[in-house]
């Protein structure tokens, strides 16, 4: 797991509950490494070959049963190291395809999986001359980022030019540029696919994808930016549509060559059926997995760990109640000084928790440039509609206080 992961405590708690010993591999040496030898491992994920070698050497002294990537940043190393140690895992090629949106589109197209039309351009291309060759509306995006960072819709040539320049500026931001030249050289331009969006959380075992949960996204995601907000499960779409969504995701996973472990996919549904927008070979990001619970009592991460060490997972089902999470929208850029109304939000019937994940005093950045979640609201109720209402009501109770040194403080509330 990268040191900036949101996923550490969920996986470590799952391992504790399942009685599975864990070695935490991170990209920086951990402060407590000497206190508990053999439980941590530092490797440079930006150099997957070297990181693989580090893991292989480590595993000689302390054999590993499985290597699980928690985030996109560790998907490549996990695949390479699993292959080197002959452990079950996705092939390196398929792992790389989930990290490169251009490669993914090519593989989906070759396999006939419904997915947006696309063209790719160099960051050095002149958007003004490209703009007359594009069909609108389109979506412009980097090939190598996640969490909707740098994903922008454009409906006409003028907005295309602006969006293209904005995407290339994001690709030049220091934290992105350090990923390497090849990855940050390309801009993907896709046809905009209208429709309702869903997210599928699944587990692949020997090439067979099992849907663990399908989330509806009740807020329209029509752009120009695509900020994720509410996820609700179970889906309220008709059963027949849900089946088609799962089939589409299964065909997508097969097209990408994914055979093992967690997948998280985004799909859009319209008259033509389900379209695969994106598939990641890891579990859901942020703290969102807290919305999922399985019976007999287990978390998503427990199922992932169980599968990885060869224990059965088929008997687990998502619990009966409806559940949901809201990724708290970021209304503007600025220093977040305080979030007021937390207790009032937590007191709403059905709300289980409200977590702010950006510490006070830190900068928040909205999409398309931003990359951190502001926080999460979790709710459970008998029906998805009640979960949705609880999430919206809790959100209305929150008041974000931004520090703006030049003009004094300003607050944004939804009351």
104 binds ligand ADP (CB under 6 A): no
> How many CA atoms, within 13 angstroms, populate the side-chain half-sphere of residue 49?
0
Q: Are 186 and 125 in contact (CB under 8 A)?
A: no
Q: Give the whole-angstrom CA distance, residue 346 versus residue 327.
A: 15
Interaction residues for ligand ADP, span 323-362 (CB under 6 A): none
For ligand ADP, the closer of residues 22 and 123 by Cβ is 123
Size of the site for ligand ADP (CB under 6 A): 20
**Contact code string over 255-294 relative to ligand ADP, x by CB under 6 A:** -----------x-x--------xx----------------
Decide if residue 227 touches ligand ADP (CB under 6 A).
no
- Collapsing DSSP to helix, strand or coil, 214 comes out as strand
Of 284, 27, 262, whose CA–CA distance to 147 is shortest?
284
E strand or H helix that includes residue 410: strand 410-413
- Joined together, the tokens standing for residue 222 give 């029509």
Q: Are 89 and 82 in contact (CB under 8 A)?
A: yes
Between residues 217 and 293, which has the closer beta carbon with respect to ligand ADP?
217
Q: Which of 147, 276, 291, 305 binds ligand ADP (CB under 6 A)?
A: 147
Tokens of 301: 């991460």
Report if residue 26 touches ligand ADP, rule: CB under 6 A: no
**Where does 293-412 have alpha helices with state H?**
300-308, 342-346, 384-397
Among 27, 190, 201, 302, binds ligand ADP (CB under 6 A): 190
Of 30 and 119, which has the nearer Cβ to ligand ADP? Answer: 119
* Ranges within 125-144 binding ligand ADP (CB under 6 A): 139, 141
CB closer to ligand ADP, 94 vs 146: 146
Strand partners, 364: 334
User: Helix, strand or coil for residue 157?
Assistant: helix
Looking at the Cβ atoms of 159 and 397, the one nearer to ligand ADP is 159
- Rank residues 52 and 281 by Cβ distance to ligand ADP and give the closer one: 281
| DSSP states of 348-381 | STTEEEEEE-S-TTEEE--TTT--S--EEEEEEE
Only segment of 7-15, 34-42, 145-153, 386-394 that touches ligand ADP (CB under 6 A): 145-153
- State yes or no: residue 395 binds ligand ADP (CB under 6 A): no
Per DSSP, the three-state class of 71 is coil
Binding residue (CB under 6 A) for ligand ADP from 52, 54, 98, 148: 148
* Interacting residue ranges for ligand ADP, rule: CB under 6 A: 101, 116, 139, 141, 145-149, 151, 190, 192-193, 197, 221, 226, 266, 268, 277-278
């Amino acid at each position: 797991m990268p040191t900036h992961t949101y996923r550490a405590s969920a996986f470590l708690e799952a391992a504790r509950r399942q009685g599975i010993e864990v070695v935490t591999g991170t990209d920086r040496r951990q402060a407590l490494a000497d206190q508990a030898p053999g439980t941590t491992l530092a490797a440079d994920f930006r150099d997957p070959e070297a990181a693989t070698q580090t893991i292989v050497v480590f595993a000689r002294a302390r054999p590993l049963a499985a290597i699980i990537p928690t985030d996109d940043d560790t998907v490549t190393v996990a695949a390479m190291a699993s292959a080197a140690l002959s452990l079950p895992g996705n092939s390196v090629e398929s792992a790389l395809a989930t990290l490169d949106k251009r490669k993914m589109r090519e593989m989906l197209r070759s396999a006939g999986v419904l997915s947006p039309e696309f063209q790719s351009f160099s960051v050095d291309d002149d958007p003004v001359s490209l703009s007359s060759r594009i069909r609108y509306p389109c979506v412009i995006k980097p090939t190598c980022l996640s969490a909707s960072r740098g994903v922008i819709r454009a409906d006409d040539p003028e907005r295309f030019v602006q969006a293209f320049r904005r995407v290339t500026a994001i690709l030049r931001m220091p934290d992105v540029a350090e990923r390497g030249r090849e990855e940050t050289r390309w801009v993907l331009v896709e046809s905009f696919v209208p429709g309702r969006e869903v997210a599928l959380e699944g587990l692949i075992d020997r090439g067979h994808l099992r849907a663990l949960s399908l989330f509806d996204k009740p807020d329209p995601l029509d752009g120009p930016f695509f900020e994720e907000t509410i996820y609700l499960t179970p889906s309220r779409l008709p059963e027949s549509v849900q089946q088609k969504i799962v089939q589409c995701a299964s065909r997508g996973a097969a097209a990408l060559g994914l055979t093992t472990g967690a997948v998280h996919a985004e799909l859009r549904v319209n008259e033509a059926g389900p379209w695969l927008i994106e598939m990641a070979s890891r579990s859901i990001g942020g703290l969102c997995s807290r919305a999922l619970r399985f019976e007999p009592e287990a978390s998503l991460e427990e199922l992932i760990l169980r599968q990885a060490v060869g224990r059965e997972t088929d008997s687990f089902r998502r619990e009966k109640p409806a559940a949901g999470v809201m990724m708290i929208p970021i209304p503007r850029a600025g220093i977040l000084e305080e979030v007021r109304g937390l207790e009032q939000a937590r007191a709403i019937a059905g709300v289980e928790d409200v977590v702010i994940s950006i510490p006070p005093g830190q900068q928040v950045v909205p999409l398309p440039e931003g990359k951190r979640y502001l926080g999460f609201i979790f709710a459970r109720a008998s029906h998805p509609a009640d979960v949705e209402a609880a999430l919206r009501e809790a959100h209305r109770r929150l008041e974000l206080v931004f520090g703006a040194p030049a003009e004094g403080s300003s607050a944004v509330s939804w009351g």
